[in-house]
Amino acid sequence: MDQTDLTAPLLTTRMLDVGIAGRVFCRALELSLPPGESLAILGRNGAGKSTLLSVLAGLREPDAGEVRIAGVGYTQLGARRSARIRGWLPQSRSEAFSSTVLETALVGRHPHLDRWDWESEADASKARQALAAVGLAELAQRDVQTLSGGERQRLAIATLLTQAPQLYLLDEPLAHLDLNHQIATLELFSTLNRSEQRAASVMVLHEPGLAARFCSRALLLFDDGTTLQGSSDEVIGSESLSRLYGYPLREVGAGKLRWFMPA
């Protein structure tokens, strides 16, 4: 039985505390992300961005508070139902066994299959569409162990698209990608959020200019455990970023085409 609330935000947190080994990354965090929105998480190395994202994905318990997806907690939903709602792109991954690019992308359909089911032609069609979306259609029969780092990253994104969740949680989705594929990836998720109006994304990024351009909202994680969140236009600015990164930055450009340079 579907327990989710179709009117609820895709992601909410209540009084969320996240930390490791006595260090607090965020305190009493209150988030609400409706369909159609995208949230960028920005912060210095070691600020807890990946740790927070893993908590939002239900893969790590928070120190306090709760996370809900589509209005329901992970414990209530269970692993399979959770995987149909939220998709997780980890920062690093490895392929221990030889398989084709298409077979790897098809792993994304597993949450939608019963225990002993095989993938159908409809599942394979979804995987091929996802590979085409990231420019890997011609490599469908290639062994994954022959791919470059950037190709593997694009395959991981294609696998996530094949999964077809509503909430995309992306830990450094631009890693290993050249500039062309970085922009294509951000445009892909931006279009996905806008066109379907039922999807949302949270992504850890390192370039604030790209966050300002492609994400509607931003969450800044400061080293002292405090946070700042709001619309990207309000939150991403030279003053807040200078404090965030511990180095003076100046802003150039305007609107969605804003970049931040060392002062």
**Which class does domain 11-93+167-262 fall in?**
alpha beta
pLDDT value, residue 1 = 44
Q: Please write the tens of the pLDDT for every residue from 79-120.
A: 999 999 999 999 887 766 789 999 999 999 999 987 777 889
Predicted confidence (pLDDT) at residue 27 exceeds the cutoff of 60: yes
Phi and psi angles of residue 95, each rounded to the nearest 5 degrees, phi first? -110, 105
pLDDT in tens, 170-216: 999 999 999 999 999 999 999 998 876 679 999 999 999 999 999 99
Average pLDDT for 3-20: 86
pLDDT for 120-170, tens place per residue? 999 999 999 999 999 999 999 999 999 999 999 999 999 999 999 999 999
Nearby residues of 96 by Cβ (< 8 Å), 6 or more positions away:
none
Spell out the residues 6+ positions from residue 219 whose beta carbon is closer than 8 angstroms to its own. 31, 39, 40, 41, 42, 227, 228, 229, 235
Contact assessment for residue 212 and residue 256, using Cβ atoms and an 8 Å cutoff: yes
Q: What is the DSSP string of 176-224?
A: T--HHHHHHHHHHHHHHHHHHSS-EEEEE-S-HHHHHHH-SEEEEE-TT
What is the predicted pLDDT for the residue at 93? 74
61-to-10, 55, 64, 73, 199 alpha-carbon distances in Å:
19, 6, 8, 12, 24
The residue that leads in pLDDT, 257 or 1, is 257
Q: Phi and psi at residue 40, in whole multiples of 5°?
A: -100, 135
Domain layout of the chain by residue ranges? 11-93+167-262
